[in-house]
Every structure is written in structure tokens, then in C-alpha cells.
């Protein structure tokens, strides 16, 4: 009997085990999710998130009838007192949906999960999840022994999916809590929950009994032939995870794999913390005289100016945060910009050591399972298949942009030579942002009047998203009633997602404003995935002769709801969107910059994928699909935002209600399109660096991430490297998106083709929206992504997912504007 199982069973008659499944304790992970993160977890390493904004700088809970799905009543959906979407988000901090509740009502748990009422009960949820997990593991392991004509073997894939679901409900909720909850006690509990479950999940990935049963299911013709497409995809997901985790290795090497995996998480935690902490450079630069800061507002310069001991006026400028970005973008004095760049990007050898250790440990993992690099290990089950295809894609993209990059670079070079009156002046790293802004402002004059932000309050933008989804899919947002204790902060708003044919299909919690202790980068979190629950067969998890020890609690499945047009009952998806918007004082609506609106559209693309991709199985629902496919629905949203017909649905002045002037939109888009080739070049360079840092070169004794970056900059950069700096230690996606950063450019290439083929002529067409829904969104990860893409674009060549398919996508990048 396993040591873990022995803790929950009083006696047992039918089962035996050969491997101990004991949770191990590790250092807390503390992983900070990068921008626009889509946090989805299966029994294996959690996925990371989207790289969109970096280029421009996870409840085994024991849910019961009080589940989030069952808690939402039709009375709420049809209440005449429910505020509009715009009112909900443009009103003062505490939502009207929450204010209608009596304060005497006893608090519920976070997300209406009973085990999330306190940090202590959150910790209890781990025991409940692992207890259920042990039962499911033993049931799977002994399925071949059952004399039932193969019935239990036919349930194995479902059992695997249930195992993943029960663990992910806890670990996914923990991810939200540790990133967003204001209470340190809650965050610490979430760290403990995350680390205990993650380590136990790694031991499951190296349990040969589970692999052997799954392998037998897939190689038993009478069973395999009866599998649905989704069941086959679920089985392949687990099979690949086993194989990537070295299931074929000896016991000693499997133990080594678990140890290395735990080390990766620990180093990843440290690396992500380093990304958000100042380096060894000075906390401030001193500028004297303060007039050298010309380009910044006089009021700001005055506020940071001090008098030194010699009676001289000196400006004390912070080298971290928005101040450093403002200096690099606006200050005319090149010496000041140089000093700021060197100070803010200064190499921290301790941070470099952590990153290099992380890269080498992932390389060691790949070597352990017989692969040449971590890139090969990571990309094997992605659309691109291998690093060689990624390199070919990035090379093709780069060749197609060479002339445009050179032309834009000459504009910047000329601007510097004119400004400095030096015909030989060369563009440097601290010059790029300044001259991009300068040339853009000269070439694109904005009309007088309000800025474009006046037409994009948070409420207006959310109302526009609801209207767009109503046009495309017949889906709208309805403000939901927030129960006491359901959210982690008073500013969190709840949206019920309602389909005109199916009714309530999911819930989205919106945490949009920055605050102390909150991770400010934009992120999408999948807290609960859709899956069918009425066929769980939970009553047979405890075999005949088994008796649970007194006090042992088992995680229970969500009771689910009936879905129109679907057989059985389903748990509904639950997602969280987080942003770091600034809330103005006095209850005024927050007005968003174009980049913030773009970010919100991007994250909502992920959220709607979670809502629409409602599968029978947890592991293939919503955003649980390959990293280079999961970005497609979200990047496509950026195309919708740029279309005048879509903006006409909602973009109105927050005070007057006047529509967004066409001239202002055209001027803004012209300004945004300036230096687009250089922006694309920067994204491509970061993708190339990501590939290099997860390539076989990491195995060299002389490997250095700093030297690798410098060599790449010399070979392909638009400015030379700056000695003494180490930008890569702040590139957070090297952990969460390690070897996968290319996926944003891949997604941009694919979505541009989708836009031109499906949406360009009728961007708000229901038929176009249903085409995307039927071929892509509804499948989640339950269908091969190349088949989804080929079906959507009506191109059979794409469905093979081979080298020809990759070449077709590469060719798109040379012909379609990204």
C-alpha cells in the first residue's frame, strides 16, 4: 500500500500498490505570471502566458450545491434592477450588485467554494484533493484486473481527466490567490497549496503503473476504436506528459527527474521575483542642472529637484518604474538617457546566475529523457513540432521584413543626426524610444480636442465587448450578484456569461485596478474548466472493502447544470481577468489608453475561449490547447479593435456620448503603424533569444545568457549591445513561456490570415462568428489544432500539420500585414 493511501484508508481488500505517492515539501514557488497570462494546469507542468505587452515593456475544494453554477439564479439574470455593464464598471469601487446584499448574510468561500472561506480551510482543500487523487490513482492502476468485460478500462480516460480536474481546481485557485489577494496570510496559504500539489503532481507523471494502463487502453483495439475524438486527445495529452517526464527511465532517474522539476519551479520563483526587483545599479540618477531633463513636464522636474550641500539644484530621478521609461522616451539630453539606460539595465551577476541555473536545469531535464535541448522537449506536442520549424518560421518572417526595418532605421538615424548636428552619429540602445516618439509625433499630427482615451472608459469598453460577442456568437455579459466572501477584494466585479440559446454558460471575475500587493501585469486565469460531471461514477472510487479513516474528507465534483442541447450535466467554466488600470479619485470612470484597451480585448479573447470551449473533458476544454494555438483567439481580438465597424458599436465619449471621430481614429492608427517593422523586429529578436536560451548551446561549459544576448544583438540587432547591462534577467517570459515566445508572432501571422479570409468584409457578422466558433473556439483542445485551422480557412493542406503546413503559415507572414 502506498504511504499516502494508507493515511486515508482504514482497510482495503482488493488493491495493492508498488509505489509510494507521498507529497514532498519544496520551497514556495512565487511565480509571477507574465503579461496576459493564460494560466491552465493539468497533471504536469503548468503553462505560462502571453508575451504581448513585454515587448513594449492557479480548488479541490469540496464543492457542493453552492457551486458557482448553481448559485446563479434566473431571477438575477432577469432582474430589472441589475445595472448595465457600463454602469457596473464606471461606478464607484463597491459594485451595486454587492451593495444589494444584507451584511448579516454569512460569508461564502472564494468563488463560492466552501473550502475557501479562510486560509486554514484553503490548506484543508489540499488534503481533500490528494485523498480523492489517491483513490483515483489506485482505481486507474487496478482497472486491468477488474473482471467486468473491460468496462472499467473504458473508464480510464475519464478517471485520468477527473484526477486532473480535482487537482487543478485547487492549484488554479491558488494561482489567483497568490497573485491577486491583498491578505498576506491568504497568499502564503496559496503558496503552500501550490507547492504541495505541484510536487505531488510531478510524482504522478513518473508513476509507471498509470502510464502502462493508459498505454494498454490506447493499444486495445476494442477500446481504442470506440474512443471519441476528444477522448483520444485527452489520452494523448496524458501520454505525452508521461513520456516528457521520463516514464521510460529507471526508478533512480525518475526520482532525479522529479528533483530537477522541483528545482526548476524553485529557480523559476526566484527568477520571477528578480524580474520585479531593482538591480545593482543606483536607485536614482542625479541630473544637474535639472534643465537637462527638458522634455519632461516642468511640474515633475520641480518635484524631484533638491538642493545639495553645495547649494546646487539637482534632480533626483528614480531608475525603476515609469520614471525610467519616461526619461528614455522624452528627455532630449542623450547623456541623461544613457545614464538612465545603463543604471536601469545594469547587470546583476546574482540574477544572471539564477537565470543561467534555470536554463541549465531545464537542459538537464531534456538530456535525462534523451532529447538534445529543452526546446525539443517543450515543442514536441505543439503545432510547430520542433525548434527547427520555429527557426525557419522566424527566419522567413525576418527576411520579409528586412527592407521595411532598414527603411525605418534610416528614419531614426537621420533624425538623430539632425538633432545632434553630427553626420556620423549612430543610433544607440538609449535612443530608440526617444527618436521613435519624436519622428512619430512629427509625421502624425493628432486633431485638437479630447484624446482617444476619452472614448474608452472601462465601462464603455466592457459594454462594447458584450455587444461584439452578441453580434458574433449571440453571447452577452450580465452583471452577477456577488455574495459576501465570494471575491478577494471589493473592486472585483462578477459577470455572468449568457448565451441566447443555452442560457448561463460561465462566469468571469474582473479585477481591473492596481493596488498594493497585487500583480499588476494583465492576466487571464482559468479557475475552473468545463466538463461533463453526471457520468463521473464517483461512488465506485472507494472499492468494496475500503473504509475511510475517520476525519478524512474527499474532494467532491461540482454538481453541474443541464445545458440546452447537451446530454448530461456540466460544470461551468470560471475565469478571472486581472489588469493594472489606474482608478481616478472621486468615483470618476477610468479612461483607458489604446494599449490598455488592446490588452483588455486580448485578455477577453482568452476568457471567451474558456467560456465557449465547453468540452466533456476537463483537459481539452477552453484554453487547454497548445501554446501556439491558445493565442489565436486573443490576438484575433486585436484585429476587431482596429476595425471602425466594431468601434462604431461602442466607442463613445464618456461624458457626452458622442461617437469616436473618424479623423481622430485615423490619426491614431497612422501613428500606431509608424515603426511597425522595428516593433516586429524586436518581437522576433526576443523569440530568437528565447530559442537560443533553450537550445543545445546551454550544455556548453562556457554558456552565458549575457554573452548569448550580446552575440544575438551584434548579429541581428538594430542597436549594438551595451556592456555592463543584462536585459535578459528582466525577461519574465523566459520562465512561463520558455521556448514558446515565438507563439505570439506565430499567432499574429495566423490571425492576420483568419481576419483577411473570414472577417475583413463583415467583422460583426454572425455567420463569420459562428464559423470561428464551430471550427475553433468550441473545440478547446479536443481537436487537432491544424484540423481546426484547415477547417476554418477551408484549406485541406493545413490539416496535415506537416512541413508543408508550416511553410504555408510562413508564407502568410510575408504577404499579410501583421
Show the cell assigned to 770. Answer: 459562428
For residue 525, the cross-strand partners are: 39, 576
3 against 403, higher pLDDT: 403
Q: What percent of the chain has pLDDT over 70?
A: 87
Whether the pLDDT of residue 8 is over 60: the answer is no
For residue 313, the cross-strand partners are: 307
Phi, psi (degrees; rounded to nearest 5) at 678:
-65, -40
What distance, in Å, lies between the first and last C-alpha atoms of the chain?
57
pLDDT at 259: 92
**pLDDT tens digits along 324-352:** 999 999 999 999 999 999 999 999 999 99
Least confident of 61-65, 119-123, 352-356, 430-434: 61-65
The pTM (predicted TM-score) of the whole model is 0.84
Least confident of 157-161, 311-315, 714-718: 714-718
Whether the pLDDT of residue 52 is over 80: the answer is no
pLDDT band at 447 (very low <50, low <70, confident <90, very high): low
For 86, half-sphere exposure in the C-beta direction (CA atoms, 13 angstrom radius) is 16
As a whole number of angstroms, the distance between CA 392 and CA 688 comes to 11
Whether the pLDDT of residue 540 is over 50: the answer is yes
**Residue 138 Cα distances to 159, 434, 720, angstroms:** 10, 62, 58
Average of per-residue pLDDT across 773-781: 93
pLDDT at 206: 86
As a whole number of angstroms, the distance between CA 63 and CA 125 comes to 10
42 against 441, higher pLDDT: 441
For residue 307, the cross-strand partners are: 313
**pLDDT tens digits along 60-105:** 333 333 343 333 434 333 444 567 999 999 986 554 445 444 343 5
Average of per-residue pLDDT across 807-811: 89
Q: Residue 548 CB: number of other CB atoms within 10 A? A: 14
As a whole number of angstroms, the distance between CA 651 and CA 636 comes to 19
β-strands 313-318, 305-307: how paired?
antiparallel
450 against 3, higher pLDDT: 450
pLDDT at 246: 87
As a whole number of angstroms, the distance between CA 201 and CA 207 comes to 10
Q: How many residues does the chain have?
A: 818
Whether the pLDDT of residue 534 is over 80: the answer is yes
As a whole number of angstroms, the distance between CA 550 and CA 317 comes to 62
pLDDT at 591: 96
Helices (H), 225-333: 229-244, 251-275, 298-304, 322-330
**Residue 619 Cα distances to 111, 205, 542, 615, 799, angstroms:** 21, 15, 24, 9, 22
pLDDT at 634: 94
Least confident of 168-172, 239-243, 576-580: 239-243
Three-state SS for 585-651 is: CCCCCCECCHHHHHHHHHHHHHHHHHHHCCCCCHHHCCCCCCHHHHHHHHHHHHHHHCCHHHHCCCC
Average of per-residue pLDDT across 6-20: 30
**Residues carrying an active site annotation:** 603
DSSP 457: B
Mean pLDDT score across all residues of the chain: 85
- Contact 639/453 with Cβ under 8 angstroms? no
Average of per-residue pLDDT across 53-58: 29
Average of per-residue pLDDT across 764-785: 94
- Contact 623/168 with Cβ under 8 angstroms? no
Average of per-residue pLDDT across 590-594: 94
As a whole number of angstroms, the distance between CA 528 and CA 526 comes to 6
- Helix, strand, coil content of the chain in percent (nearest 5): 55, 10, 35
Question: Sign of dihedral through CA atoms 317, 323, 325, 328?
Answer: negative
- Contact 123/500 with Cβ under 8 angstroms? no
pLDDT at 3: 35
Average of per-residue pLDDT across 30-57: 31
**pLDDT tens digits along 390-408:** 999 999 999 999 999 999 9
pLDDT at 575: 97
Amino acid at each position: 500500500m502506498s504511504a499516502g493511501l494508507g493515511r486515508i484508508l482504514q482497510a482495503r481488500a482488493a488493491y495493492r500498490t508498488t509505489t509510494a505517492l507521498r507529497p514532498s515539501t519544496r520551497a514556495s514557488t512565487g511565480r509571477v505570471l507574465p503579461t496576459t497570462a493564460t494560466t491552465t494546469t493539468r497533471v504536469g507542468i503548468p503553462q505560462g502566458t502571453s508575451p504581448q505587452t513585454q515587448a513594449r515593456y492557479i480548488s479541490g475544494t469540496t464543492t457542493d450545491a453552492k457551486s458557482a453554477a448553481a448559485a446563479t439564479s434566473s431571477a438575477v439574470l432577469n432582474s430589472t434592477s441589475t445595472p448595465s455593464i457600463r454602469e457596473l464598471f464606471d461606478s464607484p469601487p463597491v459594485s451595486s450588485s454587492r451593495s444589494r446584499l444584507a451584511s448579516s448574510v454569512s460569508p461564502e468561500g472564494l468563488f463560492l467554494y466552501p473550502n475557501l472561506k479562510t486560509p486554514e480551510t484553503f490548506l484543508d482543500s489540499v488534503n481533500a484533493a490528494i485523498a480523492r487523487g489517491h483513490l483515483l490513482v489506485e482505481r486507474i492502476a487496478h482497472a486491468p484486473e477488474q473482471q467486468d468485460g473491460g468496462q472499467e478500462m473504458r473508464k480510464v480516460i475519464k478517471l485520468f481527466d477527473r484526477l486532473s480536474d480535482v487537482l487543478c481546481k485547487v492549484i488554479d485557485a491558488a494561482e489567483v490567490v497568490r497573485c491577486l489577494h491583498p491578505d498576506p496570510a491568504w497568499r502564503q496559504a496559496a503558496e503552500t497549496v501550490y507547492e504541495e500539489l505541484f510536487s505531488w503532481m510531478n510524482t504522478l507523471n513518473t508513476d509507471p503503473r498509470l502510464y502502462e494502463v493508459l498505454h494498454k487502453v490506447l493499444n486495445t483495439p476494442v477500446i481504442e476504436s470506440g474512443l471519441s475524438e476528444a477522448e483520444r486527445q485527452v489520452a494523448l495529452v496524458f501520454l505525452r506528459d508521461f513520456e516528457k517526464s521520463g516514464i521510460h527511465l529507471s526508478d533512480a532517474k525518475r526520482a532525479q527527474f522529479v528533483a530537477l522539476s522541483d528545482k526548476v519551479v524553485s529557480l523559476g520563483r526566484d527568477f520571477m521575483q528578480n524580474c520585479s526587483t531593482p538591480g545593482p545599479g543606483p536607485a536614482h540618477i542625479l541630473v544637474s542642472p535639472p534643465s537637462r531633463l527638458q522634455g519632461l513636464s516642468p511640474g515633475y522636474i520641480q518635484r524631484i529637484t533638491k538642493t545639495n550641500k553645495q547649494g546646487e539644484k539637482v534632480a533626483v530621478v528614480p531608475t525603476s518604474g515609469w520614471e525610467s521609461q519616461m526619461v528614455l522616451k522624452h528627455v532630449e539630453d542623450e547623456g541623461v538617457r544613457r545614464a538612465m539606460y545603463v543604471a536601469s539595465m545594469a547587470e546583476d551577476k546574482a540574477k544572471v546566475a539564477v537565470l543561467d541555473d534555470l536554463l541549465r536545469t531545464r537542459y538537464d531535464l531534456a538530456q535525462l529523457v534523451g532529447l538534445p535541448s529543452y526546446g525539443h522537449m517543450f515543442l514536441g506536442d505543439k503545432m510547430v513540432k520542433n525548434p527547427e520549424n520555429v527557426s525557419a518560421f522566424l527566419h522567413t518572417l525576418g527576411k520579409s521584413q528586412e527592407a521595411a526595418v532598414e527603411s525605418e532605421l534610416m528614419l531614426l538615424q537621420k533624425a538623430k543626426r539632425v538633432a545632434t548636428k553630427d553626420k556620423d552619429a549612430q543610433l544607440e540602445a538609449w535612443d530608440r524610444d526617444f527618436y521613435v516618439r519624436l519622428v512619430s509625433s512629427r509625421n502624425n499630427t493628432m486633431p485638437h480636442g479630447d484624446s482617444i482615451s476619452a472614448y474608452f472608459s472601462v465601462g464603455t469598453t466592457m459594454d462594447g465587448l458584450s455587444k461584439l460577442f452578441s453580434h458574433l456568437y449571440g453571447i452577452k455579459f450580465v452583471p452577477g450578484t456577488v455574495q459576501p466572501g465570494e471575491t478577494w477584494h471589493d473592486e472585483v466585479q462578477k459577470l455572468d456569461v449568457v448565451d441566447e440559446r443555452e442560457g448561463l454558460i460561465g462566469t468571469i471575475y474582473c479585477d481591473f485596478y492596481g493596488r498594493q500587493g497585487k500583480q499588476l501585469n494583465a492576466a487571464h486565469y482559468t479557475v475552473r474548466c468545463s466538463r461533463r460531471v453526471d457520468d463521473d461514477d464517483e461512488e465506485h472510487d472507494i472499492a468494496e472493502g475500503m473504509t475511510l479513516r475517520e476525519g478524512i474528507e474527499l474532494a467532491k465534483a461540482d454538481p453541474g447544470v443541464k445545458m440546452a442541447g447537451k446530454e448530461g450535466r456540466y460544470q461551468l467554466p470560471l475565469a478571472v481577468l486581472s489588469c493594472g488600470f489606474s482608478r481616478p479619485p472621486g468615483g470618476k470612470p477610468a479612461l483607458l489608453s489604446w494599449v490598455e484597451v488592446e490588452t483588455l480585448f486580448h485578455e477577453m479573447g482568452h476568457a471567451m475561449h474558456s467560456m465557449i470551449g465547453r468540452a466533456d473533458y476537463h483537459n481539452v476544454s477552453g484554453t487547454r490547447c497548445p501554446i501556439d494555438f491558445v493565442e489565436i483567439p486573443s490576438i484575433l481580438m486585436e484585429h476587431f479593435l482596429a476595425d471602425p465597424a466594431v468601434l462604431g458599436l461602442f466607442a463613445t465619449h464618456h461624458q457626452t456620448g458622442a461617437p469616436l471621430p473618424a479623423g481622430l481614429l485615423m490619426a491614431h492608427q497612422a501613428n500606431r503603424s509608424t515603426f511597425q517593422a522595428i516593433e516586429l523586429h524586436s518581437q522576433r529578436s526576443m523569440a530568437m533569444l528565447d530559442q537560443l536560451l533553450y537550445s543545445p548551446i546551454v550544455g556548453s561549459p562556457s554558456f552565458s545568457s549575457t554573452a548569448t544576448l550580446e552575440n544575438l544583438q551584434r548579429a541581428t540587432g538594430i542597436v549594438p549591445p551595451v556592456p555592463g547591462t543584462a536585459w535578459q534577467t528582466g525577461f519574465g517570459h523566459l520562465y512561463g513561456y520558455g521556448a514558446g515566445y515565438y507563439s505570439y508572432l506565430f499567432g499574429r501571422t495566423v490571425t492576420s490570415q483568419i481576419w483577411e479570409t473570414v472577417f475583413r468584409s463583415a467583422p460583426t457578422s454572425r455567420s463569420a462568428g459562428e464559423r470561428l466558433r464551430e471550427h475553433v473556439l468550441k473545440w478547446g483542445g479536443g481537436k487537432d489544432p491544424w484540423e481546426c485551422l484547415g477547417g476554418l480557412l477551408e484549406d485541406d493542406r493545413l490539416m496535415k500539420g506537416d512541413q508543408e503546413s508550416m511553410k504555408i503559415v510562413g508564407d502568410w507572414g510575408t504577404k499579410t500585414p501583421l
